[in-house]
Structures are given as structure tokens and as C-alpha cells.
Structure 1
Amino acid sequence: MRRWLRQHRYALLVAVRRLVTQPFSSLANILVIGLSLAVPIIAASVLVSAQPIASEIPVSPELTLFLDPSTSNSDAVSLAETLRNKRSDAILDTRLITREQALQSLKANPSWSEALAVLPDNPLPDAIIVTLRDSPDLALHANELAQEWRNLPQVDSVQLDSDWVRRLEAILGFIKIGLGMLAIGVALVVLATVFNTVRMQALTQREEIGVARLVGATESFVRRPFLYLGALTGIVASVTAIGLAALALQPINTALARLASQYGAQFSLHLPDPLSLSMSVALVAILAALSARWSVTRNTRF
């Protein structure tokens, strides 16, 4: 056991020495891999920051019926009751929001209060919000009801409020696919960069490897420093990528905060959780070590 640990300690020290003795080459490789890895980390930050927003928004369809301005308050109340009683099997609840209530709600928002103050009268219509019951064909059923209620004489327009949530979920699904393809591309960059680095090291130390074999060094002993070299390059590049991504998110969050404040909201991007980042670092180190093994096997056959 001590011999095994001593051999690995020796291989690790050799790998560190090779990194330090060629600082320009090592730094260039680390920056190439680090910049490549920073892109999917930022994309993952967008994904993990947007997912909670989509998950917290109720996706149960709500239909909003905007009534004709000429509809009286009593007719609006009667229509809400009629809808609930007529389609009680499909409707969970109906809620009437009068134009006065809608105006007061908007005035409470600083983003709208100044604009509404200059209007001579209330431009908002009465609205009935209909919450539907869960069903296997919920989306299809909601579209059918919306089409039916658009033909009512008191109804000016019907809006399916959950449509934009479903679009957001579709966008997030598209980002996931794009992130997966991006990760594959970055993995190829890591493999190619480490492969070329180890290849150059093996060719540079061709005579040293030949002498080591003549004195009885095993193939494992010869390859082990190169494997550590690849793994160390991957680890340092991954940590560098996380730092670059964190720095890049600062100006992005500043711009997002300025944009979100215009809508009275708060939103910022944050890095994935430490466990995910640690697993990513370990995965990159494994890929780099495998690439190093492949390279040293191909380029030390002499």
C-alpha cells in the first residue's frame, strides 16, 4: 500500500512540475478549456435561475373574460354565476374583478400609477377570471371553452392566462437541449486540448520514457504522470471557468436588475449549486484523464 501511494505521489509531483516548468503553454491550455467551460456554466445559470419561476407559476389554465364596457355590474355578476352553474363540472371557481378594483390594483404599482394619473377616466373593463378543474385534456378543454365564450354578447375578448407559462416551459426545454449539445461540444474541446498537450509532452520526453523502460519501468509507471497532468489541467481549468462565469454574471445581473426594476420585479442569475459544480469539475477531470491516457498510449509506442 505504501509503495502504491508513493508511486502516485511521485506521479502527481511530476505532473505539477511539468505544469510549472512550462507556464505559458499550461496557462494557454487552461484558458482555452476554461473559456470553453464558462459558456455552458453561464447557460446552466440561466436555466437554474429560470426554472423556479416556471415551477412556482400555476399552470392550471385560468380563462379571463374581458366584458364589453357597456355591461353593467349586475349583468357581470349574473354572467359569472351563470357560467359557474352551467359548467360546474369543468369550472372550479369564478371571480369577478370590477374595473374599479383593477384600476386600484394598477395604481398600487409605481410603474403604472403615474401613467394612469393623467387619464381622464377608467379605461379598464370588468373581467371574470375562471379557474378550471384538472382533467386529462385540460389544455384542449380550456381552448374549447374559450372559443365558446368568445361568442357571448357580453364578452369582448377571452384570454387563456396559462399560454405564456407553457411557452416558457417550452423555451426552457429548448435551452436544456441546447445546453446538452453545448456540453458535448465543450467535452470535445477538452478532449482535443488535453490530447494535444499530452502528445507534445510525450514527444518532448521521448528519450526519458525510453530510458525509463530500459531500466524496467512499467507502462503504468510511464503513463501515470501524464494522467495526473490531464486531470490537473481539467481541474484547474474548471475552477478557472467557474471564476470567469461568476465574474461574467455580475454585469449581467446589474443589467437584469435595471431591466426588472422597470417592471416592478426582481430577478438575478446565480451559479448552479456547489454539488453540481463539484460534480462538473470531477467529470471534466475524468474526461481529461481519459484523453491523456488515450494520447500517451498512442504517442509512446516506440
Structure 2
Amino acid sequence: MNRWLRHHRYALAVALRRLRQYPFSSLANIVVIALILAVPILGASVLQSSQPLTREMSTAPELTLFLKSDLSPATQQSLLTRVREQGGERVAQARLMPRDQAMAQLRADPTWARALDALPDNPLPDALIVTLRDSDAPAREAADVAQAWRQWPEIQEIQLDSEWMRRLESLLAFVRVSLGLLAIAVAIVVLATVFNTVRLQALTQREEIAVARLVGATEPFVRRPFLYLGALTGLAASLLALLLAWLALTPLNVILGGFARSYGVDWAIHLPALTDLLLSGLLVVLLGAIAARLSVTRRTRF
């Protein structure tokens, strides 16, 4: 056990020495990887910070069912009962909005009163106002219900008041897919950058490695410092990326905070959860070690 620890301590010391030996190239590689890593961190921050906001905004999706003009009051009540029964658990509330009541509400608004006085009669139809329960995908639920109810002969038209939520959910889904593709691109960049860095290090240390082989150094002993070099590069880049993302969020929150408050919403972008950040950093460290392993396997067998 002591021998194993001694070998790893030696490999770590060698990797740190090689980083210090070429500070500018090492720093350049770390900065490049960190800048690439900061982009998905910021994207994940925006996505996770938007989830509570979208849930708060989509708590009560509504549908307005405009009825045909020739329906009797008894038929309207029967249709209301049918909506409640067939909607089941998805319907939180359903009520009838007579055309006279809708007109009275519009006349109570001074901006509409003068325009409505010019009309000879009431052009509004009777309507059913249906409020759905909140769900994980309220826009899709509302669209499915509206599609089924449009087939009823008593329904003239359905207005989906949560149509904007469908667009918002589509936008968030696009962001999730984009972040996934960006994560793949970042992994490729990390692999390529660390691979080339370790390859150049191996070529630079060619004579040193050859001498170590002559005196009996094993393949794992020769390879181990390069693995630590790749892992340290990934670790340093992850920490720098986290710092850059945190610094970038400060001015972004100032701008977005003022914009959100103008709409009466308190919203700020926060970094992802600590667990997610730790897992992401560990993944980058592993990618660095894997890239070093691939590179050193090809370049150290002389």
C-alpha cells in the first residue's frame, strides 16, 4: 500500500512539475477548455432558473369554449355537465359565461364602453370557461383536451389561453436539446485538447521516458504522470469555468433583473446545484484522464 501511494505521489509531483515547466502552453489549454465549459454552465443555469418561473406562470391554463348561437339554456347546462364529466381529473373548474354577462364585464371597462355603445346588439357568443389543473406539461394537456372538444357539434370555436405556454415549453425543450449537443461538443473539445497537450508532452519527454525504460520502468509507471497531467488540466479548467460563469452571471442578473421587474416578476439566474457542478467537474476530470490515456498509449512505446 505504501509503495502504491508513493508511486502515485511521485506521478502527481511529476505532473505538477510539467505544468509549471510550460506555464504559457498549460495556461492556454486550460483557458480554452474553461471558456468552452463556461457556455453549457451558463445554459444550464438559465434552464434550471427558468423552471420555477414557468411552473409559477403555468399554474392555471384556461380554455374558452365559444358555443353556437342557437343553443338553449338547457343544452348549455348539459354541455357544461358533459365537460366536467369527460374532463375528469384534468378539469379544476368549469363555468358558463352567458353572452349578456360577458358584455356587462366589457362595458365595465372604460376603454371598451364607448366602442360597445356603437354596436346595435350584443355580438358575443355564450361560452364555457374551463380551468385545467396544473401538470408537468400544461400546454400539451390543454391542447389535447381542446382537440377532443373541437369535435363536439355544439362548439363553435375554442380559444386556448395557454398557447403561449406551449411556445415557452417548446423553447425550453429546444434549449435542453441544444445543451445536450453542446455537452457532446465540449467533451470532444476536452478530449482533443488534452490529447494534443499530452502528446506534445510525451514527445518532449521522449528521451527521459526512454532512459526510464532502460532502467526497468514499467508501462504504468511511465504512463501515470501523463494521466495525472490530463486530470489536473480538466480539474483546473472546471474550476476556472465555474469562476467565469459566476462572474458572467453578475452583470446578466443586473440586466435581466430590471427587465423582469418591469413585468412584475422577480427572477434571477443562479448556478446549477452543487451536486450537478461536482458531477460535471468529475466528468471533465475523467475525460482529461481518458484523453491522456489514449494519447500516451500511442506515443510512449518507443
**Normalising to structure 2: TM-score of the pair?**
0.78
Tell me whether 140-149 or 205-214 shows the greater mean CA deviation. Answer: 140-149
Match of 1:35 in 2: 35
Give the conservation status (yes or no) of the 8 Å contact 1:33–1:237: yes
Letter in 2 for 1:7: H
The answer to whether the aligner puts 1:4 opposite 2:4 as a matched pair is: yes
Give ranges in structure 1 of 5+ residues lacking alignment: 68-76, 105-115
* Amino acid in the other structure paired with 1:292: A
Letter in 1 for 2:206: R
Q: Please state if 1:87 is matched with 2:91.
A: no
CA contact (8 A) 1:195 1:294 kept: yes
Q: 1:249 touches 1:270 (CA, 8 Å); kept in 2?
A: yes
For 2:281 and 2:36, locate their aligned partners in 1 and report how far apart those are by CA, in whole Å. Answer: 13
Structure 2 equivalent of residue 112 of structure 1 = none
The Cα shift of 1:130 comes to 1.2
Residue of structure 2 in register with 1:222 after alignment: 222
3-state SS in 1 of match to 2:85: coil
| CA shift for structure 1 position 131 | 2.4
Question: What secondary structure sits across from 1:87 in the alignment?
Answer: helix
The answer to whether the 8 Å contact 2:230/2:285 transfers is: yes
What is the distance in 1 between the residues matched to 2:104 and 2:16?
A: 72
Residue aligning to 1:53: 53
Deviation at 1:21, TM superposition (A): 2.2
Q: Which amino acid aligns with 2:259?
A: L
Tell me the residue number matched to 1:200.
200
- For residues 203-260 of structure 1, give each alpha carbon's deviation from its aligned partner in whole angstroms, at most 9, with x where no partner exists: 1111111111111111111111110010000000001001111111122212211211
Residues 50-90 of structure 1: per-residue CA shift (max 9 Å, x gap)? 223334555775213589xxxxxxxxx99985652353423
CA deviation after TM superposition for structure 1 residue 143, in Å: 3.0
Alignment of 1:71-220 (within 5 A): 83-85=79-81, 87-90=83-86, 92=91, 93-95=93-95, 119=111, 121=113, 129-131=129-131, 139-145=143-149, 158-220=158-220
CA distance in 2, matches of 1:45, 1:186: 17
Q: Is the 8 A contact 2:142 2:162 kept in 1?
A: no
Name segments (4+ residues, structure 1) moved above 6 Å: 77-80, 97-104, 122-127
In 1, the alpha carbon distance for the partners of 2:105 and 2:207 equals 85
CA distance in 2, matches of 1:50, 1:274: 17
Cα pair 1:150 1:158 within 8 Å, conserved: no
Give 1:254's aligned amino acid.
V
CA drift of 1:132 comes to 5.0
1:10 partner letter: Y
Residues in 2 aligned to 1:230 and 1:236: alpha-carbon distance in whole angstroms:
10
1:223 partner amino acid: R
Q: CA RMSD in A?
A: 3.6
Is contact 1:38-1:245 (8 Å) kept? yes
Distance (whole Å) between structure 1 residues aligned to residue 293 and residue 43 of structure 2 = 30
- Per-residue deviation, residues 167-213 of structure 1 (Å, max 9, x unmatched): 32222222221111111111111111111111111111111111111
- State how many pairs are aligned: 279
Distance apart, 1:271 and its partner CA = 1.0
Secondary structure of 1:94 counterpart = strand
Counterpart code for 1:90? Q
Aligned CA distance change for structure 1 residues 182 and 214 (closer, same or farther; 3 Å): same
Flag the 1:300–1:87 CA change in 2: closer, same or farther, 3 A.
closer
Cα gap change, 1:267/1:149 in structure 2, threshold over 3 Å: closer, same or farther?
farther
CA contact (8 A) 1:227 1:292 kept: yes
Aligned partners of 1:281, 1:181: CA distance in 2, in Å? Answer: 18
In structure 2, C-alpha distance between the alignment counterparts of 1:137 and 1:259, rounded to whole Å: 30
Structure-1-length-normalised TM-score: 0.78
Q: How does 1:231-246 map to 2 (within 5 A)?
A: 231-246=231-246
Report the Cα distance in structure 2 between the residues aligned to 1:66 and 1:247, rounded to whole angstroms: 52
Given the superposition, is the C-alpha separation of residues 132 and 270 from structure 1 closer, same or farther in structure 2, using an over 3 Å criterion? closer
User: CA distance change for structure 1 residues 90 and 288 in 2, over 3 Å: closer, same or farther?
Assistant: same
